[in-house]
Amino acid sequence: MGIFIERRCSCCGNLYRYEEYPSYISFCPSCKRDGFFESCYTENGIMPCRIYLGEDIIGEVTSVTETSYIIISDKFDIHERIEASSNPYLEAMDMLLYMIKEPNKVMRLKEKLKRQFLRENQEMHISDNDSLNMVFIQAIVEVMKRVYDKEMEKTERTLEKTFFGNVTDMNNNRTYESDKQKLKRDLKSIEKFRYAEGQKIEELSDVFPDELKCLKKETDELKSNFESNHYNISRQNSYEITIFDKLGICKKILNKQISSVKKVSNSKFKELYKEYDDHFKSIIKRASSSDISDDDYLFMLFDFFNFEDKFSLELVYSIADYAVKNDISDDVFDRAKYLYVSHLRSPKGITCMNRSFFLRKQYIQFLLKCNDYQFIYRLHKYIIYLELVFILKQYLITDKMIEEIPLSERVLFLKEKYNLLGEFNKDKEWNPKMIRIARKIFDRWSGKEAIW
Ligand SMILES: [Zn+2]
């Protein structure tokens, strides 16, 4: 046993102790702050430096060359080399402080990846930390969804066996035969919808053949399933189909009737939106009850994620609301198309999916309330963020990283940092002006790609 040093925390006054060592960083075990360090430099860099949390050694910093260091912490799964460091003590302290204070493993993963990314891409000069966090969180959520979809069991059955358990449960007042006819019609309209998506994917696959292969495979499978009356569909897919069936607005958007006042009057428009509102309000109520299981929460969250990704009814409302309240002129309003379209092509020629609700919503104001010069600058930034989500998701964040984190922690992260269900606007108030704008969005930009 070595000699122990006592130290009074400069933040909370707690007295704590740890073993004496020539070079160390110490954190208070009580408030997890303090961050005191004793430096010891040699001609080759620093003496190996211990990192303490109270008495526990939680990591170590060692020199590799005079200016490069390795920070290791098994506890937080860190093994990082820092090149051209100006102060390894401060850098290690900064990194560990975040890890100690943040209880959630997903957030710690985000921070670790963000640091790594920023160090390797210093030329990017991203100074907007909030947006960057949003981008990293979005990429992580999309990988979580990838893992979730992969893990969700798929059953290979005939149409009747696949759906009728579910459909009759939900509509048990209807007869089997009328359910079946209805379902067949709905499947047809979704087939159309998915097929349109499939074509999009085909175009995209020239740019990113590998990444989109899995998506394309899914579409192809679905197409051949329809032809053979054989389905390979998850619980989420089949639920999604019943929602398409239930919410009239979906079909009105898909067959482009929503933009015509003759086909959908203003009061009908409100009625359709209300039907959608009521449906998700009840979902959200269930999702926010205290006894909801992690599985059910994920199911509901990703269900809403999918729905908003396809139809963007929340985003459309937000855009219409903002445009009317701020009296946005028609040509300026046109800028909002970059937020609505399903995918964008970046200046580098990369095609990116536009599915970060939080980023999109934040940019409504950024893009609509500025002059032309600022607009170009902001749009450029926005597209770079979308590109980044894509790159992170495909090349940096692996399924394994997510799978190693317990499901309960993933769900907690989603509830606290990606509360998409909380973004649902429960009290929409439409007026004729707003409806006109919403129709314009569906009419002009639905199913289109925007090119920078
Ligand atoms: Zn303290």
Report the separation in Å between the CA atom of 55 and the middle of ligand 1, taken as the mean of its atom positions. 13
| Planar angle of CA 336, 341, 346, nearest 5 degrees | 90
Structure confidence by residue, pLDDT tens digits, 190-202: 555 544 444 544 4
Structure confidence by residue, pLDDT tens digits, 36-45: 988 888 887 8
Report the separation in Å between the CA atom of 216 and the middle of ligand 1, taken as the mean of its atom positions. 54
Q: Are 8 and 28 in contact (CB under 8 A)?
A: no
Encoded tokens for 55? 């008495």
Quick check: 124 pLDDT over 80?
Answer: no
pLDDT at 168 (0 to 100):
44
Stretch among 304-313, 349-358, 398-407, 414-423 having the lowest mean pLDDT: 349-358
pLDDT at 190 (0 to 100):
57
| Planar angle of CA 190, 315, 357, nearest 5 degrees | 90
The burial of 302, by beta-carbon neighbours within 10 Å (0-12 exposed, 13-18 middle, 19 or more buried), is given as: buried
Rounded to an integer, the average pLDDT of 219-235 is 58
Count, residues in the chain = 452
Report the separation in Å between the CA atom of 265 and the middle of ligand 1, taken as the mean of its atom positions. 64
Report the separation in Å between the CA atom of 31 and the middle of ligand 1, taken as the mean of its atom positions. 4
Report the separation in Å between the CA atom of 10 and the middle of ligand 1, taken as the mean of its atom positions. 7
Quick check: 279 pLDDT over 90?
Answer: yes
Query: Which position has the token pair 């940019």?
Result: 363
Q: Are 358 and 364 in contact (CB under 8 A)?
A: no
Domain boundaries, the chain: 4-101, 144-151+247-451
pLDDT at 267 (0 to 100):
96
Taking each helix axis as running N to C, give the angle between helix 313-325 and helix 432-445, from 0 to 180 degrees, rounded to the nearest 10: 130
DSSP sequence for 435-450: HHHHHHHHHHHTT-EE
Report the separation in Å between the CA atom of 310 and the middle of ligand 1, taken as the mean of its atom positions. 49
Rounded to an integer, the average pLDDT of 379-386 is 89
Report the separation in Å between the CA atom of 38 and the middle of ligand 1, taken as the mean of its atom positions. 17
- Rounded to whole angstroms, what are the CA distances from 394 to 45, 351, 399, 420? 37, 13, 10, 22
Report the separation in Å between the CA atom of 35 and the middle of ligand 1, taken as the mean of its atom positions. 9
Report the separation in Å between the CA atom of 300 and the middle of ligand 1, taken as the mean of its atom positions. 40
Report the separation in Å between the CA atom of 24 and the middle of ligand 1, taken as the mean of its atom positions. 17
Structure confidence by residue, pLDDT tens digits, 102-122: 889 999 999 989 988 887 777
Instruction: Of 326, 286, 320, give the one whose Cα is nearest residue 303.
Output: 286
Report the separation in Å between the CA atom of 373 and the middle of ligand 1, taken as the mean of its atom positions. 49
pTM: 0.80
